[in-house]
Structure 1
Amino acid sequence: MPGTMHSNDSMVRRTALLALVAALSACGGGSSSSDPPVEPSGQVINSTLRSESNGFTYAIQVFLPQSYATGTTMLPVIYATEGDAPYGAGGPGGTAVSRFESFKQVMQRRGTQAILVGIGGTSQRGTDFLLPGARRYLNFISNELAPAIERQYRADPKRRALSGLSHGGYFVVAALVLEGTAGALSFSHYLSTESSFGAHADPAAYRAFEKQLDGKALPATLFLAGARSSNGSVVVTPLYTQMAAQTNPGLTLLKAEYETTHVGADVPAFEDALTRFFP
């Protein structure tokens, strides 16, 4: 069925399992060796979703904080592109972990009360993150994935964040441009880290593309983060300077720079975003 997420488990079964474990613990009992493992600091649900916009099937990972099973409040959702991209050394024996796993570990450590959605398909980054394919990919996230998440989980449709690194960081800005010029934003927070200039000829052409937003009302937050010795100085800061001089009612524009490598800026920027927007 189009737009249906195919999950490894249902929410009803998960909730019942958590309740059973709690009851057995109170009675001095425990779960049997046949019970599926439950993460002590939250839960990850793996699924797939085929896009009607571009025909690609994406692996989707959803992290729910520990409080989700017993809570009732609607939670903000962070949509992380390239969730399956391997980087960092946080795995066993120093092995590389994915972008989704790295972000999840930060959220677990901080106790962040938000839902993290990792979108796979890193192999598609050259198509999905750059125009014209970015239009179809944005339509998939905004009009297919986000509604599916909000049907299945207690996800707040008014608090959606979109996160991307490098070409993904460009995609985040492009999403704001595409939606801002159309007059309807799908996200409350746009988190762009170490943005490239995409398929444009150079950073100046990228800024000319963004200039379409001048004068547009943008009721959202754009957080531009960069590494000072990488794209931060040549792409991110000039873009921020241009946007800061524009008139965009409702826009909260923020910038941060880090003394890191290109990829190394991603986790510090994510943690900074959590501190600012989802404490």
Structure 2
Amino acid sequence: MKSASTGSTYSIQVFIPAGYAGGTAALPVIYATEGDAPYGGVAPGSGGPNRSRFDTFKEVMQRRGTQAILVGIGGTAWRTTDFLQPGASRYLDFIVKELAPAIESQYRADPKRRALSGLSHGGYFVVAALVLEAQAGRPPSFSHYLSTECSVGEYSSPAGVLGFEKTIEGKPLPTTLFIAGASNGNHPLIGIPLYNQMSAQSLPGLALLKAEYNTSHVGADVPAFEEALKRFFP
């Protein structure tokens, strides 16, 4: 899909669950950034050693019987451009204004139940997407923001991320943010301080959750995704 917002072309993969053809209900859609990232086999049940992020998430959904649509967005090669500012604003426009409408026109997708998932810089992008829309006074485009192992993004330290998020103090946020990570990774340094700061703020409507796993940086991604499915899309 060629994006007018970013100028890049992204490979898009779509998984629809068993029984979709015979159903009538609109289904939630999970937008997974870095769908083409090769990292499978990092956790039990996460697939073979050459699996992509999309393949791995798809296998988790198949095993659980999750009734949701999974959209894998390629473009891992541009992660340091698309996930960090100033590119993150354009990349968010691509997902919200170009990709999501295309998916919702082709599939039986519920526009009120969208999830955005990212790992590391992608996890930062998930948080940035929430902040950028709140700064602009727009309602959240996703019902669930799934940030795993959030990085410092374009900043040099966690303090930069915290300062960026602090700008939305008092803004209404009628959505859910799930901050997950590894005990041996970014989570104690970035995820937990971010969770604590947001918990102490006035952010009307925000449902804020956290989870920590005794695993590696990348290894936290599959357990976090499975827990998100369990909590939000059973």
Question: What TM-score do the two structures reach when normalised by structure 2?
Answer: 0.96
**Does the residue aligned with 1:113 lie in a helix, a strand or coil?**
coil
Corresponding position of 1:109: 63
Letter aligned with residue 228 of structure 1: S
SS at match of 2:110: strand
Offset, 1:182: 1.5
Partner residue, 2:7: 55
Higher relative contact order (CA 8 A, sep 6+): 2
Structure-2 residue corresponding to 1:179:
133
Q: Give the aligned partner of residue 166 of structure 2.
A: 211
Name the CA distance, whole Å, in 1 between partners of 2:26 and 2:233. Answer: 13
**One-letter identity of the residue aligned with 1:194:** E
Note the aligned Cα RMSD (angstroms): 0.8
Partner in structure 2 of residue 87 of structure 1: 39
- Where in structure 2 are the equivalents of 1:156-235 lying within 5 Å? 156-184=110-138, 185-235=140-190
Deviations 1:155-197 (A, max 9, x none): 0000000000000000000000001121221111000000001
Sequence identity (%): 71
| 2:82 is equivalent to residue 128 of structure 1 | yes
User: In the alignment, which residue of structure 2 is the partner of 1:69?
Assistant: 21
Aligned residues: 229
> By how many angstroms is 1:229 displaced?
1.3
How far residue 95 of structure 1 moved from its aligned partner, in angstroms, is 3.1
- Distance across 2 between alignment mates of 1:212 and 1:159: 26
Larger Cα-atom Rg: 1
Match of residue 196 from structure 2: 241
| Unaligned segments of structure 1, at least 5 residues | 1-48
Secondary structure class of the residue paired with 1:247: coil
Instruction: Find 1:256's aligned residue among 193, 201, 211.
Output: 211
**SS, match of residue 209 in structure 2:** strand
Structure 1's consecutive aligned runs of 4 or more residues displaced over 6 angstroms after TM superposition are none
Q: Secondary structure at the match of 1:68?
A: coil
Give 1:88 deviation, angstroms.
1.8
Identify unmatched segments of 5+ residues in structure 2.
none
Deviation at 1:212, TM superposition (A): 1.0
In structure 1, distance between residues paired with 2:229 and 2:78: 27
Q: Match of 1:274?
A: 229
CA distance in 1, matches of 2:135, 2:175: 14
Q: Name the SS of the counterpart of 1:109 in structure 2.
A: helix
In 1, distance between residues paired with 2:49 and 2:220?
19
Residue 125 of structure 1 aligns to a residue whose secondary structure is helix
Q: TM-score, normalised by structure 1?
A: 0.81
* Distance in 2, Cα, partners of 1:85 & 1:208: 30
